[in-house]
């Protein structure tokens, strides 16, 4: 359940009044608050869409790497899609089964490949090969470790960018994208993988882009991948899985026709049509598991009214949540308390403290008398993980709720600590 209002008009998440957290001097703002119960329920709902068919929900850890969240998803039986050696270590430390970890990324270093190959008895579930050139590198690292590395081939499905209903920065399955083995190179890549003594090809996958709100491009991409998998099996190669990728959109306020389970259902339909529905189906959702179950709390610092312009300055900025600045993304902003006396609405341009004009969360209707504090909604994915300390600002606090109480939280670094860390030399 995302945020709701209690009878007193206070915004709540996971049964906790958010104003109580924001105004607690030990917590303060800016603070990310997450509902672990709702994140677990989101994973259960998605897994149910597979109807008992063999599958792995490989949570794209990049969306939110916080231990309590990765642990909650691992406890629901999720695997992980990681994109760095460090994310791999987080997934392992949080109890994700190594067999259910896939590792994507176009420029994995030798050290990162070695780490992935060294995990457990057989290495992780699959290193996702993103280019022909990477195959020889994986083979060499596996040979050096005296092992065979399981790999899956991430294919660039060549889905035209203008058919994607998402921002160009996060469309990844078109010809200009650096991701995946181009379809024209798949045959050569498969042949090379088969000649490589320390590489075992176990799957095929694709990831067409992120925040996609209808299933068409996802189905098109899955169809391309599954056709390749079917052909290869027909030639006698045994595979373990196909991976349809992540990218399931959420409703940031403008609607999202497709629910996460719909992407699973269209991928399964394509799998059946290709006659490969005995293979496990992997999906790699990040955002849809966590975004709606996290908010960023901010305090209003002051208004600024000049001529007919009205700005509301808050203490969270683009360093805490960069999505509006980077992708012109809109996140709803709502007051932590509704006060009947403040019934007059006004349009405010909500901005942060960072010295850039792009530090701008857009125009929002809030009370004419500025609220004391606000929540930026749907901030659970690609919020904290993309945060920085730009302008000498401490990273925001992260606070995790379970069963209507605080399960854990991080501490805010002081200005002194930041200044000490930078005044070296
Ligand atoms: N698998 C691969 C290979 C990916 O590259 C990604 C995301 C995912 C899975 C998960 O996609 P999701 O289900 O979360 O959409 N920072 C951007 C999103 C970047 C996504 C990058 N890749 C944003 O804030 O919208």
Cα separation of 129 and 193, whole Å? 10
Q: Quick one: tokens of 34?
A: 């997450």
Probe residue for ligand 1, chosen from 81, 286, 322, 328 as the CB with the greatest number of ligand atoms within 8 Å: 286
What is the helix (H) or strand (E) element at residue 401, kind and residue range?
strand 397-402
Number of the ligand 1 atom closest to the C-alpha atom of 128: 3
User: Residue 1 — very low, low, confident or very high, per pLDDT cuts 50/70/90?
Assistant: confident
First-residue to last-residue Cα distance in the chain: 49
Q: Kindly state if the Cβ of 331 falls inside 6 Å of ligand 1.
A: no
User: Residue 9 — very low, low, confident or very high, per pLDDT cuts 50/70/90?
Assistant: very high
Cα separation of 321 and 319, whole Å? 6
Q: Identify the pLDDT of residue 163.
A: 64
For 75-79, 108-112, 341-345, which range has the lowest pLDDT when averaged over its residues?
Answer: 341-345
What is the helix (H) or strand (E) element at residue 187, kind and residue range?
helix 186-195
Strands (E), 276-419: 280-283, 294-306, 309-314, 333-335, 345-351, 360-367, 373-376, 397-402, 405-409
Q: Quick one: tokens of 412?
A: 């805010």
Number of the ligand 1 atom closest to the C-alpha atom of 329: 25
Q: Kindly state if the Cβ of 246 falls inside 6 Å of ligand 1.
A: yes
Helix, strand, or coil (residue 367):
strand
User: Residue 158 — very low, low, confident or very high, per pLDDT cuts 50/70/90?
Assistant: confident
Q: Look at residue 173 and tell me whether its pLDDT is greater than 70.
A: no
In tens, the pLDDT along 286-337 reads 999 999 999 999 999 999 999 989 999 999 999 999 999 999 999 999 999 9
Cα separation of 183 and 175, whole Å? 10
Could you please report the per-residue DSSP string of 116-148? HHHSTTT-SSEEEE-SHHHHHHHHHHHHHHTS-
Q: Identify the pLDDT of residue 175.
A: 73
Q: Is the peptide bond before 30 cis (omega within 30 degrees of 0)?
A: yes
How far is the centre of ligand 1, averaged over its atoms, from the C-alpha of 179 (Å)?
12
Q: Which DSSP category does 160 fall into?
A: -
Q: Kindly state if the Cβ of 63 falls inside 6 Å of ligand 1.
A: yes
Q: Look at residue 216 and tell me whether its pLDDT is greater than 70.
A: yes
Ligand 1 atom 24: residue of nearest CA: 382
Asked if 113 and 138 count as a contact pair (C-beta separation under 8 A), the reply is yes
Q: Kindly state if the Cβ of 248 falls inside 6 Å of ligand 1.
A: yes
CA distances (Å), origin 368, targets 108, 166, 293, 347 = 51, 34, 28, 8
Ligand 1 atom 15: residue of nearest CA: 247
Catalytic residues: 355
Probe residue for ligand 1, chosen from 64, 210, 326 as the CB with the greatest number of ligand atoms within 8 Å: 210
| Range 99-111 burial, b when 16+ CB lie within 10 A, else e | bbbbbbbeebeee
- Which residues fall within 8 angstroms of residue 236, CB to CB, at 6 or more apart? none
Q: Look at residue 162 and tell me whether its pLDDT is greater than 80.
A: no
């Amino acid at each position: 359940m995302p945020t709701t209002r209690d009878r007193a008009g206070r915004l709540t998440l996971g049964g906790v009044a958010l104003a109580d957290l924001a105004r607690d001097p030990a917590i303060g703002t800016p603070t990310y608050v997450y509902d672990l119960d709702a994140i677990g329920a989101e994973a259960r709902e998605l897994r149910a869409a597979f109807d008992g068919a063999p599958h792995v929900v490989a949570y794209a850890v990049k969306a939110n790497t916080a231990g309590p969240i990765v642990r909650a998803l691992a406890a629901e039986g999720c695997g992980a899609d990681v994109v760095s050696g460090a994310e791999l270590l987080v997934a392992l430390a949080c109890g994700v089964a190594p067999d259910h970890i896939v590792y994507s990324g176009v420029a994995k270093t030798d050290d990162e490949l070695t780490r992935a190959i060294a995990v457990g008895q057989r290495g992780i579930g699959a290193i996702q090969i993103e280019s022909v050139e990477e195959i020889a590198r994986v083979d060499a690292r596996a040979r050096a470790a005296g092992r065979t590395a399981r790999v899956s081939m991430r294919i660039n499905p060549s889905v035209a960018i203008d058919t994607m209903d998402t921002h160009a920065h996060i469309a990844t399955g078109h010809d200009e994208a650096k991701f995946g083995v181009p379809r024209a190179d798949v045959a050569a890549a498969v042949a090379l993988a088969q000649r490589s003594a320390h590489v075992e090809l176990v799957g095929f996958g694709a990831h067409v882009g992120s925040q996609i709100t209808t299933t068409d491009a996802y189905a098109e991409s899955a169809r391309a991948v599954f056709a390749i998998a079917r052909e290869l099996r027909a030639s006698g190669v045994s595979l373990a899985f196909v991976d349809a990728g992540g990218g399931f959109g959420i409703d940031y306020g403008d609607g999202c026709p497709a629910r996460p389970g719909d992407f699973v259902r269209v991928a399964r339909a394509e799998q059946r049509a290709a006659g490969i529905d005995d293979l496990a189906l992997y999906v790699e959702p990040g955002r849809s598991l966590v975004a709606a179950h996290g908010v960023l709390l901010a305090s209003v610092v002051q208004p600024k009214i000049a001529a007919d312009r009205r700005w509301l300055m808050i203490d969270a900025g683009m360093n805490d949540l960069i999505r509006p600045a980077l992708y012109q993304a809109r996140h709803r902003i709502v007051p932590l308390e509704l006060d009947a006396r403040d019934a007059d609405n006004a349009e405010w341009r909500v901005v942060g403290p960072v010295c850039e004009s792009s530090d701008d969360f857009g125009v929002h209707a809030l009370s004419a008398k500025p609220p004391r504090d606000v929540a930026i909604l749907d901030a659970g994915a690609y919020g904290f993980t993309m945060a920085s300390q730009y302008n000498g600002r401490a990273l925001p606090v992260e606070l995790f709720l379970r069963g209507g109480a605080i399960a854990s939280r991080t501490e805010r670094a002081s200005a002194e600590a930041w200044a000490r860390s930078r005044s070296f030399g």
